[in-house]
Amino acid sequence: MKMTAAVLRQADGPYVLEEVELDPPGAGELLVRVVGAGLCHTDVVPRGTASFSPPPIITGHEGAGVVEAVGAGVDRVAVGDHVVLSFDTCGDCAKCRGGRPPYCDQFLLRNLLGRRVDGSTGVRDAAGGEIASRWFGQSSFATYCVAAERNVVVVDKALPLEKLGPLGCGILTGAGSVLVQLAVPAGASLVVFGAGAVGLSAIMAAKAVGAATIIAVDLHAHRLELATELGATHVLDGAAADLVQQVQALTGGGAEFGFDTTGNVAVIGNAIGALRQGGHCGLVGIQTEPITLDPVALIGKTVSGILEGGADPRVVIPMLIDWWRAGEFPFDRLIETFPLDEINAAEEASLSGKVVKPVLLPPAPPA
C-alpha cells in the first residue's frame, strides 16, 4: 500500500516527506494508522557516524494509532483497536518471560537496526530501493506503520490518542525508572539530573508514589519552573560549582536515589557524588565518551544502566494512563504538537530545548 513517510536520507540532512510502498503485515504483525508520534532524542541516533541503522531510514518510536489489519497468528489485538506502540522484544527469552522485556536478549537486533531480525524492512521508495522501517519495531514517523503484536498496548478508545504516543518510550523510561528499576518508595529522596521529558516523567512518578524530597537539576530556568509545577520540591542550577554540596544539604547528607538523563560524564559524576551511602543512581542518557569514576565515590553505592525504565509497557503504560485520568500524572503538559511535514522544525525545537516533547501528527486519511 502507498503511504507518506518522513525519510531521513542522509545523516546530516533533513527529513523528506516521500510517498513509499508499505508491505502488508506478516505473521505476528499488525498495520497501524498512525495518529500521533512523539519525537525522542534517541531518534537522532541514525544521524551518528557509528550508528547501527544508517539512512535511508524512517524513525519514530513513540507511535499511537488505530489497527487497520492484522497478520496471521495475531490474537491479542483486533482491527479497530486503539494502541500505543512501544519497543519490540522476542517474547521468549528469560528476561521477557520474567517481566523484564527491556533487557530482552534481542533488544539491539529488534530495535536499533531499523530492520526485522532477518534483515527485511517492508518499505520501498518510488525507485524500488529499500528503506529501513522497523526502528524500535515501528518507524512511526509516517501515516502508517507495521508493528509486532508484542510491542503494542491496547488502550481505551475514549482516550485522546494523539497524546499517548510518548508513553511508549520517553515517558515510560522516566516513570518506569522510578517505579521499577529504582523502586523509589514513599518518603524517599530523589535527585533528577536533566528536566527534559524523561526527567520530568521521573519527577511526576516520584510525586505520585509519595517521595518526600524531589530535586530537579537543569540549566534552563523554564524547565526548572515546570519541574516545580509537576512535583519537584527543590530545583537547582546545573551550572552551580557546589551542586553536590547543595544536594547533600537538602537531603541531610545525600540523596537516596539519583537519576541521570543527560549522558554527560561530568553530570554523571555529580549524580553519583550526590548520593548517600546505600544510594542508587540510575543512568539512562546515552554516553558518548568513556566514564572515569573515583572508586572512593562508589563505595557503598549502586549504579545501574537502565533501558526503557526496566518496565513492561503492558503493565506500566495502563498504570500511567490511570494516574493521568485521576489528575496525578499530567504528562500531556510536556507535549507540543507539529504536523508531520514540520518534522525538521520539531527536531530542532527538541534538540534546542525549546519544546520538551514534540508530537508529530500525520495527515488524516481522506474521508
- Cell 551511602: give the residue: 277
3-class secondary-structure state, position 311? coil
Do the strands 29-38 and 357-361 form a parallel or antiparallel pair, or are they unpaired? antiparallel
Q: DSSP alpha helices (H): ranges in 65-220? A: 94-97, 107-111, 170-176, 197-209
The gap from C-alpha 352 to its chain's centroid, in whole angstroms, comes to 18
In the structure grid, which three cell numbers stand for residue 139, read together?
518507524
149 vs 168: CA distance, rounded Å: 14
pLDDT for the residue 349: 96
SS3 326: coil
Look up residue 362 and give its DSSP letter. Answer: P
* pLDDT on residue 49: 72
- pLDDT recorded at residue 367: 62
Q: What is the pTM of this model?
A: 0.96
Q: Specify the pLDDT at position 345.
A: 98
214-217 long-range contacts, CB within 8 A, separation 24+ = 214/189, 214/190, 215/189, 215/190, 215/191, 215/247, 215/250, 215/251, 215/255, 216/192, 217/191, 217/192, 217/193, 217/243, 217/247, 217/270
Half-sphere exposure of residue 332, counting CA atoms within 13 Å on the CB side? Answer: 13
pLDDT value of residue 364: 84
Tell me the one-letter amino acid at 66. V
Q: What is the pLDDT of residues 52-98, one digit of tens each?
A: 888 999 999 999 999 999 999 999 999 999 999 999 999 999 999 99
Nearest to 347 by CA among 113, 5, 47, 32: 47
Sign, CA torsion 274/278/284/288: positive
Beta strands in the chain (DSSP E): 2-8, 15-22, 29-38, 63-70, 82-85, 123-124, 144-148, 152-155, 189-193, 213-218, 234-237, 255-260, 275-283, 302-305, 335-339, 357-361
- The grid cell for 366 is 481522506
- Classify strands 15-22 and 63-70 as parallel, antiparallel or unpaired: unpaired
- Map 235-283 to HEC letters: EEECCCCCHHHHHHHHCCCCEEEEEECCCCHHHHHHHHHCEEEEEEEEE
CA-nearest of 162, 256, 244, 246 to 209 is 256
108-164: pLDDT as tens digits? 999 999 999 999 999 999 999 999 999 999 999 999 999 999 999 999 999 999 999
Residue 343 belongs to what H/E stretch? helix 343-352
- Single out the residue of 32, 64, 33 nearest to residue 162, CA to CA: 64
**Which residue type does 329 have?**
F
Pairing state of beta strands 152-155 and 82-85?
antiparallel
237: number of Cβ within 10 Å: 13
Are residues 182 and 282 in contact, defined by beta-carbon separation less than 8 angstroms? yes
pLDDT < 50: residue spans in the chain: none
